[in-house]
Every structure is written in structure tokens, then in C-alpha cells.
Amino acid sequence: MTHYRIGVVGLGQRIAHVLAAMQEVGWSLDVVAHVDPAPVGAPILATAGIRSGRPCADMAELLAQGPFDLLMLGAPNHLHFAHLMQALDAGVPIFAEKPIVRTEEETEALAWRLSAPGTPPVFVGLVMRSLPIVREVQARVARGELGDVVSIDATEHLPPEHGGYLARNWRRKQEWGGSYFLDKVVHDFDIFGVLAGARPARVASFGGRRIFTPERKDPPRTWEDGSAAYALRDAGWAGANDAFQSDMDVTDHQVAMVEYANDVRLSFHANSHVALTERRWYVAGTEGTLIADLVRNRLMVRRALHRGKPEKIDYGGVTADAHNGADQAMALDLLAALEGRAAFPVTPYDSLEAGLTVMAIDRAMDERQVVDCAPMWARYDAARGI
């Protein structure tokens, strides 16, 4: 088996967890060097028994420690584009965290760069693509088990501690994270595009901040047993101390509607502070209906004209990190892709298109208008040269 020499740019919690999952599923690896001013993920790596390699000041110093078999990029979202451009020039396979980039301009520039000959492979951490339940949903829809998909209703509702972390971490600021939706639910909109089988034609959205705001009068700050709330994790790079008194400028709840080019219609509801958590996709087709419960890792399907019990599949393996084994599944997919045994389940173009979908949704919210996506797709296709 190949021993992988890995360079990391942005050794945060995410890359540390992915590296730990890679080792867990059998990768032979060394982190040779990393660039990170204050690696939040170092304790996670240490717990996994992986050394974090030589600390480097920048990508040039890191690349001088080569050769590398893989570069892993996991800095905050506003740095993704610059890091990707440097890594692409190095010609080494890249694992890049989502959202692949943060703005429409970066999307077009990256689409153009990716079309250059000799570009190394780019594997994007849209980790839900590797989950068995998500693969099953995609396969059943592709096989036509639901007939034609007509409409989709979906949610992602986070527990208070998770929302409180987002309100303190760098994700609270548009200039670093992009938006609540871009950072948190680009995964879901990536899959919705696959299920719909078309690109969004028109989008609308409403959202704002009504939970994590300084205007709220004395929000409760303790759990029923008296323990402190909103203190789950160290807020990390550029963190704020208090979830309610920070300079947050992204939404803490948001709804969106999408009409795809083939007339599939979707509604989406997200809230970052709920007592009953949910990540659920309800897919209604002409001949059947499916509910994917991504929190409990359960799938339920029934044909429209069937009176018997619905088919239920319980995938089990529910984990405290809410990833339910997706990181390990993605680590296996990444190894298979690098060894040429299978294509990685998501392409960089899929990632760019999911990102653009969410950016259009955020624009609709900001402008309080229905956004016609056609000009955006035309600019993107032109950048790709198609």
C-alpha cells in the first residue's frame, strides 16, 4: 500500500477529524508539514496519534518539504480560493474542504483555472455524498423508483450549542464564512441539485438574526441542571467570547424556495437553535415518496398507490458528531480515488454549482427579490469554456 506524504494548510478541527478518519480506515499516512498560525486541530490529531509535521509560515515553505502525495486545505472559507490556486500550481492532488470557494467571482475564476490542461485532481469534502443513506436516496431517485421528482421539502435544524458555536466562531462573519447557508447547508443543496436533476432557475429566500442578537433581553444561559450553555467548544481562530454579544452578521435562521429548470420545486427551512433537531429531506415523486432522516440515519419509502407499510431502512451508526460515519466513508472514497479504483463521488464542478445555488439564495434574501439564475449560470459556463 502507498504511504501518503501529506501537507496541510489550515489544520483546524475539520482536517484533523478527516485525517483521524483516514487513519482509522487504514490509510498509511504522515503529515509532513502544515501551515496554520494556531492549529485548532492539533489536539485532535494528537489524540489520534498522528504527528502534525513541521510548522511552515506559508505554502511556499510547505511545498519545499515535498514531494507530497496529497495537499489538504481546511482554512476558513475566505482563504480557500487563494490556497486552491497555489495548490493547483503545485500540481499535487488536493483534498479541499467545502464550500470550495466563497463568492461568485471566485467561482468563475476557479472554474476557468480548473479547465486548464494538467490540472491535478481536486476532491471536495462534500462528505454527505459518501454516506450510505445519501447514496441510496440518489440511487433510488436515479432508478425512477419515485417516478418523476415533483417537489422536495427539506430542513436542517441545529441544537443550541451548535448554533452558539457558529455565533462565536469565524463562521459568524460573512467576510470569513460567506453565509450561514454557504457554510452549513451547501452539502444539502449539492444533493438537491442531483435529486432534482437540473439547475435552479429561480430562487427566493428570507432570513435574519433573531436568536443570537445583543437586543435579546437576558436570554437564558444555563441548562436545566444549571450547567453553562453556549460554551461547547473553544471558538478557535478569530473567535468571539459570547454568542449573543458578538459582531455576527450572518443569519441564524433562514428559509428558501427554489424552482429548478425542469419545474421541480423545493422549500428549505433552517434554524440554528432548536430543541428538536432535524435534518430531513422529503422527496415527493409522481409514483412514490421518500423521507430521509439524516439525524437518525433512517430512510422511509413508499409507492404512491401502495397501502401496505412503508419500507424502512435503519442505517444505524448514529454518532455524537452528527456525521454518522460519513468521514470514514469519505476517507475510503478518497483512497479509492487516489488509487484509481473508483471516481470520487463529487466533482469540483458539482461543488462550484452547489455553492452558486446557495449564493443565489443569499442574494435573493439580501435583495428581497426572486433571483433569476440564468445570467449566473451563463457567466459560470462561459468561465468553464462550455
| Shortest distance (Å) from residue 192 CB to ligand NAD | 17
* Contact string 21-40 vs ligand NAD (x = CB under 6 A): --------------xxxxxx
Buried-exposed string 337-355: b where 16+ CB fall within 10 A, e elsewhere: bbeeeeebbbbbbbbbbbb
Query: Does residue 13 belong to the site contacting ligand NAD (CB under 6 A)?
Result: yes
Among residues 250 and 264, whose Cβ is nearest to ligand NAD? Answer: 250
* CB neighbourhood size of 97 (10 A): 22
Query: Does residue 101 belong to the site contacting ligand NAD (CB under 6 A)?
Result: no
Among residues 57 and 228, whose Cβ is nearest to ligand NAD? Answer: 57
Cβ burial, residue 237 (10 Å; 0-12/13-18/19+): middle
Q: How far apart are CA 150 and CA 171, in angstroms?
A: 34
| Shortest distance (Å) from residue 134 CB to ligand NAD | 13
Three-state helix/strand/coil letters over 312-336: EEECCCCCCCCCCCHHHHHHHHHHH
| Shortest distance (Å) from residue 310 CB to ligand NAD | 29
Q: How far apart are CA 266 and CA 188, in angstroms?
A: 12
Query: Does residue 324 belong to the site contacting ligand NAD (CB under 6 A)?
Result: no
Q: How far apart are CA 303 and CA 290, in angstroms?
A: 9
Q: Binding ligand NAD by CB under 6 A: which of 112, 237, 282, 377?
A: 237
Q: Binding ligand NAD by CB under 6 A: which of 7, 12, 207, 345?
A: 12
User: Number of C-alpha atoms within 13 angstroms, CB side, residue 51?
Assistant: 10
Query: Does residue 183 belong to the site contacting ligand NAD (CB under 6 A)?
Result: yes
| Shortest distance (Å) from residue 218 CB to ligand NAD | 29
Q: Binding ligand NAD by CB under 6 A: which of 236, 285, 325, 348?
A: 236
| Shortest distance (Å) from residue 297 CB to ligand NAD | 15
Residue with the CB atom nearest ligand NAD in the bound state: 12
What are the strands of the beta sheet with 298-303, ordered from one edge? 311-314, 298-303, 288-293, 278-285, 149-157, 265-271, 253-260, 200-208, 371-372
Query: Does residue 8 belong to the site contacting ligand NAD (CB under 6 A)?
Result: no
Query: Does residue 76 belong to the site contacting ligand NAD (CB under 6 A)?
Result: yes
| Shortest distance (Å) from residue 353 CB to ligand NAD | 17
Query: Does residue 9 belong to the site contacting ligand NAD (CB under 6 A)?
Result: yes
| Shortest distance (Å) from residue 138 CB to ligand NAD | 18
Strands (E), the chain: 3-9, 28-35, 54-56, 70-73, 94-96, 122-124, 149-157, 200-208, 253-260, 265-271, 278-285, 288-293, 298-303, 311-314, 371-372
| Shortest distance (Å) from residue 5 CB to ligand NAD | 19
Among residues 59 and 264, whose Cβ is nearest to ligand NAD? Answer: 59
Applying CB under 6 A, which part among 70-78, 113-121, 190-198, 246-254 lies near ligand NAD?
70-78
Applying CB under 6 A, which part among 6-14, 189-197, 205-213, 266-274 lies near ligand NAD?
6-14
**Contact positions with ligand NAD (CB under 6 A) in 143-172:** 170
Q: How far apart are CA 249 and CA 172, in angstroms?
A: 6
| The CA-based dihedral angle spanning residues 88, 51, 10, 297, taken in that order and rounded to the nearest 10 degrees | 100
Q: Binding ligand NAD by CB under 6 A: which of 7, 53, 74, 348?
A: 74
What is the dihedral sign for C-alpha 361, 366, 368, 374? negative
What one-letter code names the amino acid at 284? A
Footprint of ligand NAD on this chain (CB under 6 A)? 9-14, 35-41, 74-77, 79, 97-98, 125, 127, 170, 183, 236-237
